[in-house]
Amino acid sequence: MAQPRQLYLFLISDSVGETGFKLTQAAMAQFPEIKPIYERYPFVNTKEKIDELIENAKEKDAIITHTLVTQGLSEYLQIEAANNNLTSIDLLSPLVRSVSKRFELEPTHEAGALHHLNETYFDRISAMEFAVLYDDGKDPRGFLEADVVLLGISRTSKTPISLFLANRNIKVANLPLVPQAHIPDELYQVDPKKIIGLTNDPKVLNNIRRERMIAYGLNPDTTYSDMDAIKKELAFAKALYRKLGCYVINVANRSIEETATLIMEHLGLDHY
């Protein structure tokens, strides 16, 4: 099998650079035959630093993407990249200029404006802490404080979905479902609209659980991965969901992002 072709990508920002990283990753996902090598350079705020990075990029024949908003840096980088026959892609300036022109407003040129330590930021941290505190039904009292409660049998992505939603400032508690296990009384006090029942296809669950056991170096053929046992677990969860009257999502072949988006739409929350 041929080795994938490598491409160096220099991600330059005068702040943390998370925005540019995500955009660049999204673009490179369109080319599975290419192996991207990301080199991130946050807090670049001088022309001297840009000069150093240009020389480094030349050695590796890298493509540069950047989200520089500090006045003059973006233009300087574009010019220097062109002078050195390098591809440099400005991810922010075209939109900033368009908005500036339409409304006759000057941008702030403030690095990291999107990620200020404002009230929203601290709400996000609080939501993350909440998700960790009330993960796996550790304390059923969290159900009464949560914006959403996730239910599901093992390997229905409860924890990763909880953390993804928490990163959107949503307080999430989750409860693993096990047949014949006691269901906390607090769950029945929650508005059914706030409860999400997660389910999966038996074959998908069987594969996931077998791979999980193999990853731990254990025998994959156990009760945990037994198809009949899985079907009983799913039937138990389905009966509980029907009793609660909650919204149900099948996570089979869905990404965490897709499932989280369905949850936010159900709750009427902004998912951008």
- 254 known member of a binding site: no
Residues 6+ apart with CB under 8 A from 33: 4, 5
**Cβ contact 35:6 at 8 Å:** yes
Residues 6+ apart with CB under 8 A from 268: none
- DSSP conformational letter for 33: T
- 152 known member of a binding site: yes
- 157 known member of a binding site: yes
Which residues of 145-246 form beta strands (DSSP E)?
148-152, 172-176, 195-199
Compute how many other C-beta atoms are within 10 angstroms of the C-beta atom of residue 214: 12
Terminal alpha carbon distance of the chain: 40
- 5 known member of a binding site: no
- 154 known member of a binding site: yes
Extract the annotated binding site for ADP: 152-159
Extract the annotated binding site: 152-159
